[in-house]
Amino acid sequence: MSQYVLSLHSDVSNHDALQQLLRFTQALQAQDHQVACIFLYQQAVLFASQHFSLASDELQPTQLWQSLHDTGIALKLCVTAAEKHGLDTTQCGPFEVAGLAEFAMLATKADKWVQFK
């Protein structure tokens, strides 16, 4: 069993990257691998916005993130990127704010780090 750290860098309009991350995470869990955390960086921090919503017939990222969190995966977002994008880092739902140093420590302890862009 391997331990993975995943990072998402794409904009909220890039549903393909988000769906790829979801399918990859589900495949890892089905094979009893551990996902230590998912780190949102660059434009992806906007997924943590409490003001983000899409039409009901589109992919619902908020529900997706909550379901991943409910499986025990730590959801983290880059505090610097979040502040640069004007997010209130005290209102981030299931996400915890983290710095790049914390992410680097998690990535070095993991067996693999996979980026989704």
- The pTM assigned to this predicted structure is 0.92
Q: What is the pLDDT of residues 5-49, one digit of tens each?
A: 999 999 888 889 999 999 999 999 999 999 999 999 999 999 888
Q: What is the pLDDT of residues 52-108, one digit of tens each?
A: 666 666 677 888 899 999 999 999 999 999 999 999 999 888 999 999 999 999 999
pLDDT attached to residue 51: 72
pLDDT at 54: 65
> Could you give the 3-state DSSP secondary structure of residue 26?
helix
Q: What is the pLDDT of residue 49?
A: 86
* pLDDT band at residue 3 using 50, 70 and 90 as cut-offs: very high
* Contact of 5 with 113, CB cutoff 8 Å: yes
Q: What residues are annotated to the active site?
A: 78
**Amino acid making up residue 78:** C
Angle between the 61-70 and 15-30 helix axes, to the nearest 10 degrees?
20
Residue type present at position 116? F
Instruction: Please report which helix (H) or strand (E) contains residue 112, including its range.
Output: strand 112-116
How far apart CA 8 and CA 6 sit, in angstroms, is 7
